Amino acid sequence: MARIPCYPDAAAMKHTAVLLLSCPDRKGLVAAIANFLLAHGANILHADQHQDAELGLFLMRVEWDLRGFALPVTDFSAEFAPIAQANQMVWRLAESARKPRMAIFVSRSDHCLADLLYRFRSEELHCEIPVIISNHEHARRLADAYGIPFRHIEISSESRHDAEKLQLAVLSEADVDFIVLARYMQILSAQFTARYPQRIINIHHSFLPAFHGARPYHRAFERGVKLIGVTSHYVTDKLDEGPIIEQDVVRISHRDSLEDLIRKGADLEKIVLSRAVRWHLDNRVLVYANRTVVFD
């Protein structure tokens, strides 16, 4: 058997913390955050910010080395609370040393699943994959090849409620942090998505909002488009309307058949989904007002 190459996992080689926050914009926010971290001996490695003038919001991502940081992470919340409360901050803290647990949902098309599993095995994705869930048996061979538990849960219009109940039980048992829909061709209920807010990533085979819903490549071909695109977004209770993480396009000519569109689109789906997953794992995505900031 050919050996799968292994690349260095940058997140595993460092021990950092990432603070993501948003709040009403005002003077002195950067100084307040930097001075707080400096007071506890932080060596800031990356800092990026964005102001939304229309909404009057300040958004920031700051990453620092935990080596030499005098404040235990367990005490961070209590110590940071006065600044957060005074500035009406919505914030979260993540450590690079912890590997988030990612479940993958898939239906018949397994190209995105195969790509994610390869990137996982080659340590491009800093995560654990405790379970793959599918409404078809087709993907079991890939799960078995990578030694990942596979659950086949059939879904019909009559069994949808019971199927989601079983899916949620499996996710809970596996202690899953977030979910990736790798061409999972089922609509999740509002009750399901509410359990994982901003923690379900989907790949949609269209450049949203164009051609949303089912069979977008077919409708794009019928319209004679010159570009097709794909979109990765967080899932909400509104179909295909969640905050967009990443999009990309590929050019189409009059010589391309429907099969060519589908093939080119499938290649693009893998790239865009893997980018979105990587940025989520790196804590680079901040959601606000049904849109996202993806920090450099």
Instruction: Return the CATH architecture of domain 102-294.
Output: 3-Layer(aba) Sandwich (3.40)
State pTM to two decimals: 0.90
Confidence of residue 6 (pLDDT cuts 50, 70, 90): very low
Q: What is the pLDDT of residues 36-70, one digit of tens each?
A: 999 999 999 999 999 999 999 999 999 999 999 99
The CA-to-CA distance between both ends of the chain, in Å, stands at 38
d(CA 135, CA 108): 8
Query: Which pLDDT does position 7 carry in this prediction?
Result: 44
> What element of type H or E holds 242?
none
pLDDT digits (tens, 9 = 90+) for 242-283: 999 999 998 988 888 888 888 988 999 999 999 999 999 999
Asked if the model's pLDDT at residue 213 lies above 70, the reply is no
Q: Provide the 3-class DSSP secondary structure of residue 20.
A: strand
Tell me which CATH code domain 10-95 carries.
Answer: 3.30.70.260
Q: Is the pLDDT of residue 18 over 60?
A: yes
The tokens describing 168, both together, are: 């949620």
Looking at the chain, the number of H-run helices and the number of E-run strands are: 8, 13
The pLDDT value given to residue 239: 84
Alpha carbon distance 279, 286 (integer Å): 10
SS3 content of the chain, % helix, strand, coil (to 5): 35, 25, 40
Determine which one of 177, 240, 256, 282 is catalytic.
Answer: 240
Res 218 pLDDT > 80: no
Active-site residue flag, 282? no
What residue segments make up the domains of the chain, in order of their start? 10-95, 102-294
Whether the upstream peptide bond of residue 100 has omega within 30° of 0, thus cis, is no
Q: What is the mean pLDDT of the chain?
A: 92
